[in-house]
A and B are shown apart, each in its own frame.
Chain A
């Protein structure tokens, strides 16, 4: 949307992550920098072990970088304590995971209500019902995760992620556990929600077709950013 003001919703500045291993310190992310604008859809690609999940964890403030910093929706995550980062997540982040991560003891509706309640939104139930309808599970809302198929679970997860209308949605291989047709449906759903609520989408994937459909591709290899199709754009 060209008439929209261009704002950076996510900034990574010289991010590095080192972990200690029995063989000494190991650099799993090395000096990665980029900026992502509001509404953009970005695919993070690279071979297994390249550091994609690590990058995602840093961007979402699930973990802290060894060097460099992340600015998420205007907040420098390195300046915040764990609770501060949690609040930023509650306000502006949604997640979709490869292995869904639904709370087994809660039914579909309750799972979707969870972030709404955490963010302190008023009528969580009503809002959750609405979004569940949107992902096409209107008649399954009372089912528990164990009673749902993989694709259905992922739709609940997407509903949960979009429930709070977050500024950024992170997805780590959201279709990795699904067959290609179901994966296709799920992605269509995500892109549609991305457009309709102008949510920024950061998506880790091994699927090249999927990556191509994003506005921009970030390619990682052994912890380095080796390609950025949107650089300078």
Chain B
């Protein structure tokens, strides 16, 4: 299509108005390279594209000035690929963008301080959204600088551990229009700061206070926020029943409440917190107090409740039955890793909530055929089912899933007894987009071929350690599911280059995990590199046959590669150096690649300017010169030193037995 345009010549295209060109550009959002091609067409197209672009996600901070000058109407700058953003960079951005800039994401960037932020906020008066997450070195001064952004509506400060109440106080007073605030992991912020924020910023809709050392004292002012819809109180250990019991009125506008990992909050506290919360739609109580009859009863009076997540809680049969007796009709239920989920409880629940769309019963190891029969019969509109490691569910039960739940889009059957019959039945769910069949030792190509033929919408397929799968199965998938984006064939030892060749037809593939497939070689990798231009994550650990011959084409074709694991591969300095030329590359894991030398590594790291994370064997720490490491680190790269022994792969069945042994003890 792009080609066509250029063939027709720009003469006729110049008559297209800018609006039309903008409309065309609106549709070019799939592949970032499309817009590049568009702007390469002619000067006017380039100008149009420059004016059209609103968001920018630069790879290198060095080129900020240039690209900002090219795109004058950028309103959103995502700097998550630029680990190294200094005060100067921010100043440049602020001067170039001025008041057009509305949003900036600095969550992955470091090396800037309150000075740059202050410049940014001063020059970009219409800033609405700032993400400063992971700013572990930002202090109250930075918060005070942010406080000058009077129009700010959304602010993320997750993990800004140095920011204290004073900084939050400044923000609360300065940014009155805040609608979303995330203070997750801001350990320096206490009741005082949060309380002031709630008092001053009346517009707040969404408030994330996870893991803050707050107590009941800030809750009254929070609950008086008239517009609060989303409140996250994960891991607030200072909040307990006694404190909550004194609350007079819950928040009326609240729609989502996340009280996960609050072990001190039980029935009493919860009921006083949600008292009057007539709009509550979602309640997340993961890893909290036991779900008993009393707790379930206290939640009964929520007329709009649709979703409840009780992951990791101790659940009693009475509790589940009581939930089953609620008048409301739940759409989503999550009992992942709950202890005490039995057939009796779950059956009574699912038979009453026939509207359930999502069920998560991961690791509910007590449920059997009975539960599956009940939920497949009653919840026919199920769209998502996660039942990893339901080890007592027999293979016959999975046939029922395919027979009754035709609307399934997401199915996680990892570590189950499902066999080819079940898989064949499940292939009737033609909307299936995500299918996880990891550690399903009973399935073979036969079943997978059915899936490949009948599930054209499949986007994600996980076959981790499903050792019965061979090339023919993968070929069927690659043939039938053109939209496949992610596939995991790790430790499927029978898979060869032929699978990769077939997968190379999936042009949207962006994640390939083929760890521990010893039969894969450079040939297959080259096919992938040529066919899957979108590839961004590649794990070829323990593919011993992959060498430099694979790396050179990969480096040439996969320009979108972000993350690669090369451990145990047979590559040398040459291959690594070639790989380093991929400009997007951010993360590398290179352990036990014996042919690599410190010099080769050093050269590669120097070339690869965008690296943010490198996992290396600890032995290289002494081999690489310290100043060099410091230099690389100063560019924003983090070294992780691992000291693992060289592992020899074990037999998959033996591996599972080993796993069971360890889990039993």
- A and B associate: no
